[in-house]
Amino acid sequence: MGHPLLRRRLLLSLPLAAATAGGLGFYILLERARQGTYNPQTFSNPLVGHRVPDFRLVGIDGKHGFGSSQLIASKKPILLNFFASWCVPCAGEAPYLDVISKSGVDIWGIAYQDKAKALAFYLAKYGDPYTRLATDPTGRTAINFGVYGVPESFLIAPGGIVRWHIAGPLVPPIINEQLRPELQKIA
Amino acid sequence: MIPTLGHFALALAFAIAVAQAVIGLFGPKFRDATVMRAAPALAIGQFVSLVISFAALVWAGVVSDFTVRNVAQFSSSTTPLLYRITGTWGNHDGSMLLWCLILSLCSAVVAGFGRTIPTSLRARVLGVLGLVSAGFLLFTVTVSNPFQRIWPPPMQGAGVNPILQDPGLAVHPPILYAGYVGFSIAFAFAVAALIEGRVDAAWGRWVRPWTIVSWAFLTAGITFGSLWSYYTLGWGGFWFWDPVENVALLPWLTGTALIHSAIVVEKREALKTWSVLLAIATFSLSLSGTFLVRSGLLNSVHSFAVSPNQGLFILVLLGLTVGGSLLLFVIRAPTLGASGVFAPVSREGALIVNNIFLCMIAAVVFTGTMYPPFVDLLLGVQLSVGAPFYDQAALPLTAPLIVAMAIGPMLPWKRAALGPALVKLWYSGVIALVILAVFMFRGHVVAALGLAGALWVIFGALADLSERIQLFRIPITRSIRRFFSMPRASLGAACGHLGFGITVLGIAGMTLQIHTITVLRPGQGVTLGGYRWTLERIYNAPGPDYAARVALIDVTRHGKHVMTMRPERRFFLAQHVTTEHAAIRTNGLWNMFATFANEDTSGGAEFRFNVHPLAPEIWLGGLVMALGGGLSLSDRRFRIGVPARRSLRKPQHTVEA
C-alpha cells in the first residue's frame, strides 16, 4: 500500500465527506425548523430592531395622513399594515385585523399604490380597522420599509422601533403565536 | 374493508422487502443457489403486495371512502373520476406509496428480466434494492400512512387542489417518479459491484440499459412538468430554476453523464470508479432532492409545509442510503482496476468532455439550490438565488458541450484526428455560422448563439446518421436498408442528440418572444406580432366543479380571420380558488398564448398576449430525447447479445476482494 493508493483513498473519500457535511447541515436546519427558528418561507426584514425610516404621507382625498414623526411620538405600540384594495389576501386578513383592533391595538394602515375610489369601496366592503390611514401612491415608502408585497405588517414599539414583522396575511396562528407574545413583551 | 386490506398489503410488502434485503445481501455468502434464487421471487412478491395496496388506495378514492383521511382531505365526490384517481398520488402520503410501488417495480423488473446476470450479482442487486425499499416502506407504514382512518368521516371531502386538476399533471408524477426511482437500479448495481469488488465491461453493459430506461422517463417527466408550468401558470415561462425543478434536473445531468461514461466502461474498461460514483450520485441526488424539497427546507414556489418529524426520519434514511454507499465506495473503490491511458482526441476523449461539463453544470445547479439554506445556516443571511445566476453560470458551460456533441460521435475509439471529423460536419458548421451571423447582425446575441448551437447539434446528429447509412455515396435503396439494419443504440444516440438540439432551438427561440399586457373592453383590440387581437365578448361557462368566465378573442392578420382564442378564468367553488386557463394555439413553429388575467366591475378585462417563437420545439425535443432512449433499449445487443462475463475474466482487471 504505497502513497498513490493512499492519495487515491483520500481523493475517493471526498464525496463521503461532502455528503456528511451536507447531511449535518440539513440536520441542524431541521432542528432549527422544529424549534421554529428557521423557516425558508418567511422573509426577514432588516428593519426589525431599528427605527422606522423617515416618511410623510397624506390620507385619502387630501385628509390627514401620518408620518414617521407620529409613529415615533406614539405612547402605544402600533401595528403598521401595508395593504391595497386590489390585493386578495388583504381582503382575507381584514376580519382578523378587525379582531385585533377591537382588542385595543391601534392599527395604522398604508394603502400601497391604490386609488381613492377603489380604496373607499374596499373599506366599505371589508371594514375599516384603521385608527389612521395614509396612502402611498408611488410606493416609495413601501420601498424604504423593504416591503416585498402586500399585505405586510410591522409592529412598532413606542419610540418608533420596529419589533416584529410579517410578510403575508395576519391569520390566527400567526396572531396568537407571534404577534400577541411580541405585544406582551412591549407591555 | 378494502383500505384495511391495502394497509395490510403495505405492511406485508415491508416484511417481504426486509427478507429480500437479508437474503439478497447475505445469500451469496452461502454459495447456495436455492437461497439466492429466493431473492427474485421475494422481489416479485413485494411488487404484487404493493400493487394490491396501491389499488386499494385508488379504490378508496374512486368510491370516495371518506373514512380514509387521505381521501377526505384531497378528494371529494364531486371531483371528476379521473382526478379522484390521480388525486390519490397528488398528496404527500399517497405519492410516497406510489414511490414505493415504483421502487418495488424496479426490483421486480430486475428479477424478471435479469436472467442473464450472474445469480450472485443479481441477488446482491436485489438485496440492495430490498434494503432501500424496506427503509421507505417503514417510513410509509409508520409516519406517512396513506390508509390512516378518521372517525366519524366527514360528509364531503375537501376536494382536489384545482391547480392539480389537469390531465398533464395526472401523468406527470408517475413518469417523473419512474425516472427518479429507476436510477435505484444503477445504484444497486454500483453497490453490488463494490461489494463484489469488481467492475468490468460486462458491468457497464448491464448498467446502461437500466440507466437509459430511467433517463428516458426522467426526460419525459421533466418535459411534461415544464409543459405543464407553461400552460397552467399562465405567464408562458417554461423553466423557473425553482428548487423543485432543479432537483429533477440534477439527477438528469448526472444520469446523462452516467449513460455516456458507462459506454466507456463497456468499450474501453476505463472510467470505472467514476461510473460507480456517478451511479451512486445520481440516485442519491434523486433521493435527497425529492425529500429535501418535500421536507420544506428548501424554499420553493411549490410550497410544502415544513414537517420536521417526517423530515428527521427521511434524513436518517438518506444518511444510511447515501452515507452507507459512499462509505462502501471509500473502502472498495481505491482497489478497483485503474483506468488505462488514452488520447485526448478520441471517442472516449469526447465522452470525458461530456462528463466534465455535465458534472460542472450539475455542480452549478447544486450550488445555486443549496446556497440559500446553507448561507442562512452559516452566516444568518437570507437570500435567494434566481434565474440570472443560473443563466450566467450554467449556460456558458453548455457551449463546449454543444461543440463536442456533434464532433464526438464522428470520432473513432482509441485515437482519432479532428480533421476528418470536421470535414464530415462542414455543412452543419456553415449553417450554424450563417444563422449566427444573421441574428448577430439583427442584434440578438443570445438568440444567435443559441440558434447556431442548436443547428450545429441538429445537423451534427443528422450528419452522423447519414454517415452511418452512407447517404448519397451508395444507392439510396441500400442506404435505406442500412438505416433499418443499423444498431438501434446508434440510432438512439443520434436521436437523443437530435432531441437535445431541438430543445436548445426552442429555448433560443423563446428569447425572441414578444408580449403585451392590456386592458380591453368588448370590441377593442391590440396589435402584437403582426396579429390583431380583438376581444369579442366575455361569457359564462359552467364546468364540473367550477364556474368559468370565458373571453372570446378573435385574431386576424391583414384583416383576415386566423383563429379564435378562448382563455378562461375558472372559479373553483369548493376551494374558493381562481385559476387562469390560458388559450394556446400552435402551428408547430410558434405559439400564440393568451391569458385572461383579471376582470373589473366596469366591463374591462386584463389580458396578456404572447407570441413565443419556436416554443413547441422545447418539449418536442424532450420527447425526441426520450424516444432516443427507447430506441436504444430496443437494441438487440442489450436483449440477446448476452455479455458473457467468463470471456472477459482477464486477470489484470479483476481484483480479488
Q: Domain segments of chain B: what residues?
A: 1-165, 514-613
CATH topology classification for A56-186: Glutaredoxin (3.40.30)
Report whether B162 contacts B570 (CB < 8 A).
yes
d(CA A136, CA B606): 24
Residue A171 contacts B, CB cutoff 8 Å = no
Q: How far is A44 from chain B (nearest CA, A)?
A: 7
DSSP B319: I
Rounded distance between C-alpha atoms, residue B495 and residue B487, angstroms: 13
pLDDT of residue B653: 40
Cell numbers 420527447: residue = B623
B421 or B170: which carries more pLDDT confidence?
B421
Q: Higher confidence at residue B19 or residue B229?
A: B19
Q: Does A22 touch chain B (CB under 8 A)?
A: yes
Contact in structure between A177 and A160 (CB atoms under 8 Å): no
Cα of B326 to nearest chain A Cα, Å:
5
pLDDT in tens, B534-551: 999 999 998 887 889 999
Please enumerate in sequence order all residues whose Cβ is within 8 A of that of B80, keeping only pairs 6 or more positions apart, or say none.
B165, B544, B545
Interface residue B333 vs chain A (CB under 8 A)? yes
Is the bond leading into B152 cis (omega within 30 degrees of zero)? yes
- In the prediction, which pLDDT does B234 show? 63
Q: What would the DSSP string read from start to end of B432-473? A: HHHHHHHHHHTT-HHHHHHHHHHHHHHHHHHHHHHHHTTTTT
Bridge partners, residue B518, by sequence? B607
| Cα–Cα distance measured from residue A67 to residue A114, given in angstroms and rounded to the nearest whole number | 18
Q: CB under 8 Å to B36, separation ≥6 — which residues? A: B23, B27, B28, B119, B120, B122, B123
B306 with A39: Cβ contact below 8 A = yes
Enter the DSSP assignment of B149: B
Give whichever of B91-100, B199-208, B432-441 has the largest mean pLDDT: B432-441
Between B373 and B609, the higher pLDDT residue: B609
Average pLDDT, chain B: 87
Q: Hey, are the CB atoms on A41 and B318 less than 8 Å from each other?
A: no
Read off the pLDDT band of B255 (50, 70, 90).
very high
**CA separation, residue B90 to residues B64, B222, B241 (Å):** 15, 17, 22
How confident is the model at residue B647, as a pLDDT? 42
Query: With contact defined as beta carbons under 8 Å apart, do B604 and B520 qualify?
Result: yes
State the cell numbers at B340: 488505462
Is B447 in contact with B512 (CB distance < 8 Å)? yes
> How far does the CA of residue A142 sit from the closest CA of chain B (Å)?
19
Residue B464 has pLDDT above 70, yes or no: yes
Per-residue b/e over B20-30, b at no fewer than 16 CB within 10 Å? bbbbbbebbee
Of B292, B295, B323, the CB nearest to A19: B323
- Can you give the pLDDT at residue B656? 35
Is residue B538 within 8 A of residue B599, CB to CB? The reply is: yes
> Which range has the worst mean pLDDT, A57-66, B267-276, B420-429?
A57-66
Query: Pick from B86, B74, B92, B91: which is nearest to B158 by CA?
Result: B74
pLDDT surpassing 80 at residue B23 = yes
Q: What percent of chain B has pLDDT over 90?
A: 51
**B547 secondary structure, DSSP code:** E
What does the pLDDT read at residue B307?
A: 65
Cβ within 8 Å, pair A15-B326 = yes
Chain A closest-CA separation from residue B144 CA (Å): 18
Q: Using CB atoms, which residue from A26, A32, A40 is nearest to B299?
A: A40
- At A17, is the secondary structure helix, strand, or coil? helix
Listed in sequence order, the residues at least 6 apart from B423 whose beta carbon sits closer than 8 Å to its beta carbon are: none
Residue range B64-86, pLDDT digits in tens: 999 998 888 888 888 888 888 88
Phi, psi of A107 (to 5 degrees): -110, 125
Chain A residues whose CB is inside 8 A of the B372 CB are 40
- Taking alpha carbons only, the member of B614, B563, B557 closest to residue B591 is B614
Q: How distant, in Å, are the alpha carbons of B39, B276, B319, B644, B646 from that of B15?
A: 13, 29, 22, 35, 36
Sign of CA dihedral B133, B134, B135, B139: positive
For the stretch B502-527, pLDDT in tens is: 999 999 999 999 988 888 999 999 99
pLDDT score at A139: 86
A44 touches chain B (CB under 8 A): yes
Among the listed residues B323, B70, B266, B302, the one whose alpha carbon sits nearest the alpha carbon of residue B176:
B302
Which residues of A are less than 8 Å from B377 in CB distance?
Answer: 25, 28-29, 32
Mean pLDDT of A52-69: 87
- Under a CB-based contact definition with an 8 Å cutoff, are residues A108 and A80 in contact? yes
What is the pLDDT of chain A when averaged over all its residues? 86
- Chain A residues in contact with B308 by the CB 8 A cut-off are 30-31, 33-34
Q: Which residues contact B182 (CB under 8 A, 6 or more apart)?
A: B102, B106, B210, B213, B214, B215, B217, B218
> Who wins on pLDDT, B645 or B459?
B459
Confirm or reject contact between A27 and chain B (CB < 8 A): yes
Mean pLDDT in residue range B261-277: 90
Alpha-carbon gap, residue B191 to B132, rounded angstroms: 12
On whether any CB of chain B is under 8 Å from the CB of A14, the answer is no
Higher pLDDT, B35 or B164: B35
| Residue of B253 and A40 predicted with greater confidence | B253
In the predicted model, is pLDDT for residue B597 greater than 90?
no
Query: With contacts defined as CB-CB under 8 Å, which chain B residues touch A33?
Result: 296-297, 306, 308, 311
DSSP B207-224: HHHHHHHHHHHHHHHHHH
On whether any CB of chain A is under 8 Å from the CB of B369, the answer is: no
Q: What is the pLDDT of residue A20?
A: 93
pLDDT at B160 over 80: no
For B58-76, give one letter per residue: b (16+ CB within 10 A) or e.
Answer: bbbbeebbbbbbbbbbbbb
Give the per-residue pLDDT at B457.
Answer: 96
Q: Which of A6, A13, A24, A29 to mutate to test the interface with B (most CBs of B within 10 A)?
A: A29
**What does the pLDDT average to over B317-346?**
84
Rounded CA-CA distance B65/B77 in Å is 9
Q: Kindly determine whether residue A16 and residue B329, on different chains, have CB atoms separated by under 8 Å.
A: yes
**Which cell numbers hold the place of B5?**
386490506
CA distance linking residue B137 with residue B146, whole number of Å: 12
Instruction: Provide the pLDDT for residue B650.
Output: 41
Which pLDDT band, with edges at 50, 70 and 90, does B162 fall under?
confident
**Has residue B640 got a pLDDT over 60?**
no
Strand blocks (E) in B531-636: 531-542, 546-557, 560-565, 568-572, 577-581, 583-586, 590-599, 605-613
Residues of A in contact with B295 (CB under 8 A): 30
DSSP symbol at B68: B
Per-residue pLDDT at B461 = 94
CA distance A131 to B224: 51
Q: Could you tell me where the DSSP H helices lie in B537-644? A: 615-633, 636-639
**B387 vs B428, which has greater pLDDT?**
B428
Beta carbons of B569 and B596 less than 8 angstroms apart: yes
| Cα of B529 to nearest chain A Cα, Å | 31
List chain A residues with CB under 8 Å of B325. Answer: none
B281 interfacial to chain A (CB closer than 8 Å): yes
Q: Taking a C-beta distance cutoff of 8 angstroms, is the pair B80, B545 a contact? A: yes
Read off the pLDDT band of B657 (50, 70, 90).
Answer: very low
Band of pLDDT at residue B638, cut at 50, 70 and 90? low
Q: How confident is the model at residue B299 (pLDDT cuts 50, 70, 90)?
A: low
Alpha helix positions (H), B87-200: 92-113, 119-142, 167-196
Query: Cβ separation of A40 and B297 shorter than 8 Å?
Result: yes
- Distance between CA atoms of residues B125 and B187, nearest Å: 9
Per-residue pLDDT at B646 exceeds 70: no
